[in-house]
């Protein structure tokens, strides 16, 4: 079974600063995806970024980037130039590759990191 661990329950930074959220996972799978989702106070779960395990290049989406270390099973999220709207709960999630037959597999989530951006 896969497990995802987020060791930082809460973090707080000033607006415009850079912040890094940590995530480690445990799996024996070789083909999988990793995700970061954010859940603001509205409770809507929003996809931030996705990484395919077979890709060595780290994924980036505007101010969001990841540091994917497959051997270390580490997947951290860096938020640059943080904004007040980034205040949310951030979840790291693992999903093994299902393929055409098995299809979409379940997301395994970490416990989340509550990030607060202060003005």
Partner 1 sequence: KAGVTQTPRYLIKTRGQQVTLSCSPISGHRSVSWYQQTPGQGLQFLFEYFSETQRNKGNFPGRFSGRQFSNSRSEMNVSTLELGDSALYLCASSLDPPQETQYFGPGTRLLVL
Q: Please give the residue ranges that form the binding site for partner 1 (CB under 8 A).
A: 33, 35, 37, 42-47, 50, 91, 95, 97-100, 102-112
Q: How far apart are CA 43 and CA 34, in angstroms?
A: 21
CB of 119 to partner 1, least distance (A): 27
Nearest alpha-carbon partner for 79 in 68, 94, 93, 66: 66
Q: How far apart are CA 22 and CA 34, in angstroms?
A: 13
Smaller CB separation from partner 1, 11 or 45: 45
Q: Which is nearer to partner 1, 14 or 60 (CB)?
A: 60
The minimum distance between CB 86 and partner 1, in angstroms, equals 18
> Looking at beta carbons only, is 18 or 62 nearer to partner 1?
62
In whole angstroms, how close is the CB of 63 to partner 1 at the nearest point?
20
The position carrying tokens 């987020």 is 6
Whole-angstrom distance, CA of residue 77 vs CA of residue 75: 7
Which element (helix H / strand E) includes 102?
A: helix 99-102
CB of 90 to partner 1, least distance (A): 12
Q: Which CB atom, from 28 or from 42, has the smaller least distance to partner 1?
A: 42
**1: number of Cβ within 10 Å:** 6
């Amino acid at each position: 079974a896969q497990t995802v661990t987020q060791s930082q329950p809460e973090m707080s930074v000033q607006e415009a600063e850079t912040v890094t959220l940590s995530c480690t996972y445990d799996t024996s799978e070789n083909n999988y995806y990793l995700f970061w989702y954010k859940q603001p106070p509205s409770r809507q779960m929003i996809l931030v970024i996705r990484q395919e395990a077979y890709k060595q290049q780290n994924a980036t989406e505007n101010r969001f980037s990841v540091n994917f270390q497959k051997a270390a099973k580490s997947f951290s999220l860096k938020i640059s130039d943080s904004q007040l709207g980034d205040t949310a709960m951030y979840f790291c999630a693992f999903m093994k590759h299902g393929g055409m037959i098995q299809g979409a597999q379940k997301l395994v989530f970490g416990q989340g990191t509550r990030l607060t951006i202060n003005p």
